[in-house]
Amino acid sequence: MSDSRSSSKYPPVAIFGVPTDVGAGTRGASMGPETLRVAGLVEALQARGVDVQDCGNLEGPRNPWQAPVEGYRHLDEVVAWNRAVMETSASVLGDGRLPILLGGDHCLAVGSIVAVARHCRDAGKKLRVLWLDAHADFNTHDLTPSGNVHGMPVACLCGIGPRALTHLGGDAPAISPADVRQIGIRSVDQGEKRLVKEHGLDIYDMRYIDEVGMKRVMEEVLEGVDEDTHLHVSFDVDMLDPAIAPGTGTRVPGGVDYREAQLIMEMIADTGRLGSLDIVEVNPALDLRNATAVLAVDLVESLFGKSTLMRD
């Protein structure tokens, strides 16, 4: 076909915004979807030759902004939003499109990954989740220091958490810790550390990245990825160093720098196996001139094959 849209080696994409911060302890990530659009996400993908459909934003309950109850803040609202995310992700995957979730806070990855896991099971594909984050997000109601559910999605997906989230897709666990690789980690709470070790979560923390370098980290993370693998990238922008990405609610110093982040995205792009993406925790209320959203868009371009040299 001569249509430039079909020249991309990527499948068509469907973008949907999830404007909520019910899982977070700081307000503002609810404005993430619009700020990523303002930063030019759709146009940047189209310029890569990708067929992009913007489905607009999902709807759900408002943020009641209440204190945690029995270890969870806003659990009912978190479940309602995740149900909507799961349904939309499933229908996008069913249409043969690559879903891109614009968060919103990171609790929403429960819904997106439950849908992706089901899709992989039905399609006979192996799932690998790349969790790009400063945090392990493996808390439970009795370990959490905050009650914020955005600190719990990985545990929920692995079957540890409130039934409404662990069984969101009907059965549990949605995934196994062996399906997950975490990159950029540098803040894990005391009890969370124990749980992470107990479950053998594969964590590439900042110390390991410093010691061996990002190239080797990504080689290890992507080991075994083949044509039957579906890569789900769950990109919490707080993986990035706050000096380059200040617009997020739970900043932790000592994060991934610009070059390292580009290499992560480029090496994922090289596999050609990207199947779904979350971009979460962009908070324009804390940002400087939309720098964090602009950087996220820049990194997504690399994830869709833009390279700095003559490799296109």
Ligand X SMILES: NC(=[NH2+])NCCC[C@H](N)C(=O)O
135 binds ligand X (CB under 6 A): yes
Among 51, 77, 179, 189, binds ligand X (CB under 6 A): 189
Catalytic choice (51, 179, 189, 236): 236
Catalytic choice (179, 238, 266, 301): 238
Catalytic residue list contains 228: no
Among 63, 82, 144, 283, binds ligand X (CB under 6 A): 144
Catalytic residue list contains 135: yes
133 binds Mn ion (CB under 5 A): yes
Q: Which two tokens stand for residue 226?
A: 């083949």
27-46 burial: b if 16+ Cβ within 10 Å, else e: bbbbbbbbbbbebbbbebbb
Q: How far is CA 103 from CA 47, 236, 281, in A?
A: 23, 9, 6
150 binds ligand X (CB under 6 A): yes
Enumerate residues 246-305 that contact ligand X by CB under 6 A: 250, 281
Among 21, 105, 179, 236, binds Mn ion (CB under 5 A): 236
Strand-pair partners of 236:
280
Widest distance between CA atoms in the chain: 58
Catalytic residue list contains 257: no
The Cα–Cα gap between 43 and 50 comes to 10
Catalytic residue list contains 77: no
* 42 Cβ contact partners less than 8 Å away, ≥ 6 residues apart: 15, 52, 54
The Cα–Cα gap between 43 and 214 comes to 29
Q: Which of residues 12 and 191 has its CB atom nearest to Mn ion in the complex?
A: 191
Q: What is the sign, positive or negative, of the torsion defined by CA atoms of 90, 93, 95, 100?
A: positive
238 binds Mn ion (CB under 5 A): yes
What is the end-to-end Cα distance of the chain in Å, rounded?
A: 20
Q: How far is the CB of 145 from Mn ion (least distance, A)?
A: 14
Among 48, 74, 97, 106, binds ligand X (CB under 6 A): 106
Q: How many residues bind ligand X (CB under 6 A)?
A: 15
184 three-class SS: strand
Q: Which residues are catalytic?
A: 106, 133, 135, 137, 150, 236, 238, 281
Can you give the binding site for Mn ion, defined by CB under 5 A?
106, 133-135, 137, 236, 238
Can you give the binding site for ligand X, defined by CB under 6 A?
106, 135, 137, 139, 144-146, 148, 150-151, 189, 236, 238, 250, 281
